[in-house]
Every structure is written in C-alpha cells, then in structure tokens.
C-alpha cells in the first residue's frame, strides 16, 4: 500500500510526521515559546486560507534590534486598517520579541511579528467571528543578496507583471499577497536573472519580492513614491541622504530612468542596502556596485550602533 491509498485509519503515531526542515529558531504563539519546528498554524486559519493577515519583520544586528519602534508602529497601523486585534499591548509585544531572540541566542536575527484573522469554532464565513492570532519568531538573519551578489551586484529582470494595485490593497499594510511577486521571480529565473522588479499598472517601477528600489539619476537618488511598501530601510536611506546632503526624493520612477541610472540598489530588512549591476541583462552604469551605493551601505550599517535606532537584546546567561 502506498502512503496515499485509501485504507484503514492510521494509528495515532502515524498521524503526523513533519516532512519539512526548519532553520534554528524560537517562536511565540498561543502564550508559549516553542522551537520553530513546533510553531504551526491551523489549516483553518484565515491567514493561511485567505492571506488574511499582516506582519512586520525587524532585524537584530550585533545583538540589538534596529528601529524596533518603527517596525511596531507600522505593524500597529496595518492591524488597525485590517481591523485585527492583538491580545497584548506594545510593551508585552516588545517583551515577546526580545524573548524570542534571547531564547534563540541569535546575535543576527530575522524577527517577525504576525497576526492572522484566526479561526472560529463554527468555520464561519464572517471574519468578525474569528479569534485573531498573534505569532512571533526569531530565526537566523538572511539576505535578499548573497555574498557574491553583494560583491558584484544583483542581476535583476523587469517584469511585465503588474504589482497588485493600491486601489485593491494598500501596500502600506505589509501583507502576504505575494503571487504577483512569486510569478515574477519565476519569470526572472527563466531569463537567467536572480531577482525581479515589478511595475505599476501605469508602467512605472514599483518594487520587488521583499525590497524597495533606488536609482541614482543625474545626481539625485530616486525611489518610487506610491504603490509600494514604505520600507523602513527605504526610509533609513532617505534619512541618510538628508543627513549627508545627498539629493534624494520619492517620485514616480520610469523604466527608462531606471535603465539609464548611474547606480541602482535595492533595500530590505533582509540584507540592508544591496547593489544591482544588471537589469534585463544590460549593465547598470559601470556594471558594478557604485560609490554612492557603497557610501550609503556603510552609513546604513554604522547607524546600527547609533543609540537613536539600536535597542540591545538582553540575552541573559
């Protein structure tokens, strides 16, 4: 008999053996801290069945959270817009996040807080009947770009797939509606690229899977102004530019301007500031990471030790 033939009901021991593997980490859910391998969500959860959820991702670098207040504020704003309610206040949320990191022991961590619509005992179709569910976890910090790509710049493709328009879903609500982005990724892989940028319905540049984009055009650093997640890394870059008197602004970014840019880079909590050296197979500027990108990257990581933004984790013994 194969695993999938109908047959007698399996014994209790046979009922669930997880075929997946997980990174090392700790999660919080239902009032408990558990190893990440045990942090499971019900198949009946609206978050899983309908992507009815919001989340935020913050990182810990060198044992300290970076801009945790800003990530919690963005998370709270998304929750409010979706009419989701947390079972705790911000102080308790902060404690949960700190504890996940401390228990994981990771000094560089990817830390996610998420809230799903949850479930109801009657499997009601009315979202108001569901009990919202908060979860959080800390795993090792990953990056959109690997070491080699950081050295030589990422190779991106520009997709014709339109990013879900803001009229349908406000991108300021950080969400798991990623099918446009994932379709774009496969399209990019088919073209030999490593990642993808999507456009808006009007053809201007939007963002990619988990990152915002910047272009140095005629001496000014530009990033798309609307229809994208207001990334915390994006904001940090704009603030760095302001502090360093580098001209920078958010405005619509055409594909032509992007392709003619002297430098292009992407930004994400997962990797920080990451250079782009090819777009649709064509070199960007000099075809290698540029000096402006390098200077901004250096400042970005320097800000991680700045008391304005760093919040140390207490790891205990």
Q: Which residues of this chain interact with ligand PLP, rule CB under 6 A?
A: 57, 207, 210-212, 229, 231-234, 267-269
Is residue 90 within 8 Å of 134, Cβ to Cβ? no
> Of 33 and 55, which CB lies nearer to ligand PLP in the complex structure?
55
Minimum CB separation from ligand PLP for residue 179, in Å? 12
What is the rounded CA–CA span in Å between residue 43 and residue 6?
Answer: 22
Least separation in angstroms between residue 224's CB and ligand PLP is: 10
Closest separation between CB of residue 30 and ligand PLP, Å? 25
Minimum CB–partner distance for residue 3 and ligand PLP (Å) = 36
Cβ atoms within 10 Å, residue 109: 26
- Any idea what the Cα angle at residue 232 is, between residues 132 and 280, rounded to 5°? 110
How many Cβ atoms are within 10 Å of 44's Cβ, its own excluded? Answer: 13
Give exposure, 260-272, as e/b (b: 16+ Cβ within 10 Å). Answer: ebbbbbbbbbbbb
β-bridge pairing 53-61 and 109-119: antiparallel
- 269 or 297, CB closer to ligand PLP? 269
Task: End-to-end CA distance of the chain: give it in Å, rounded.
Answer: 51
- Tell me the closest approach of the beta carbon of residue 70 to ligand PLP, in angstroms: 8
Smaller CB separation from ligand PLP, 150 or 232: 232
Of 232 and 292, nearer to ligand PLP (C-beta) is 232
- Cβ neighbours for 207, distance < 8 A, ≥ 6 positions apart: 163, 171, 197, 198, 213, 224, 228, 229
- Closer to ligand PLP by CB, 182 or 286: give it: 182
The CB-of-241 to ligand PLP minimum distance in angstroms stands at 15
Taking alpha carbons only, the member of 135, 74, 111 closest to residue 313 is 111
Nearest CA-CA partner of 158 in 191, 127, 120: 191
Nearer to ligand PLP, 130 or 258 (CB): 258
Whichever of 105 and 210 has its CB closer to ligand PLP, that residue is 210
Q: How far is the CB of 172 from ligand PLP (least distance, A)?
A: 10
């Amino acid at each position: 008999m194969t695993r999938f033939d109908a047959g007698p009901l399996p014994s209790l021991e046979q009922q669930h053996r997880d075929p997946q593997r997980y990174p090392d980490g700790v999660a919080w859910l239902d009032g408990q801290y558990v190893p990440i391998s045990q942090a499971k969500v019900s198949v009946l959860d609206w978050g899983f069945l309908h992507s009815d959820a919001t989340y935020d991702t913050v990182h810990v670098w060198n044992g300290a959270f970076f801009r945790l207040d800003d990530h919690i504020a963005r998370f709270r704003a998304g929750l409010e817009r979706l009419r989701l309610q947390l079972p705790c206040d911000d102080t308790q949320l902060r404690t949960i996040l700190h504890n996940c990191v401390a228990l994981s022991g990771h000094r560089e961590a990817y830390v996610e807080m998420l809230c799903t619509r949850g479930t109801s005992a009657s499997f009601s179709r009315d979202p108001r009947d569901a009990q919202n569910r908060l979860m959080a976890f800390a795993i090792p910090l990953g990056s959109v770009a690997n070491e080699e790509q950081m050295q030589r710049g990422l190779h991106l493709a520009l997709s014709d797939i339109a990013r879900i328009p803001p009229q349908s879903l406000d991108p300021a609500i950080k969400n798991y509606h990623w099918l446009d982005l994932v379709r774009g990724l496969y399209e990019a892989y088919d073209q030999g690229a490593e990642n993808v940028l999507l456009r808006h319905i009007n053809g201007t540049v939007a963002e990619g899977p988990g990152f915002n984009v910047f272009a140095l055009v005629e001496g000014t650093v530009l990033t798309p102004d609307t229809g994208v997640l207001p990334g915390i890394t994006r904001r940090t870059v704009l603030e760095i530019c302001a502090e360093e008197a580098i001209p920078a602004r958010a405005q619509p970014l055409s594909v032509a301007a992007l392709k003619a840019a002297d430098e292009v880079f992407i930004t994400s909590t997962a990797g920080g500031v990451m250079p782009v050296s090819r777009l649709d197979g064509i070199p960007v500027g000099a075809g290698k990471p540029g000096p402006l990108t390098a200077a901004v990257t250096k400042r970005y990581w320097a800000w991680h030790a700045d008391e304005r933004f760093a919040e140390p984790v207490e790891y205990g013994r």
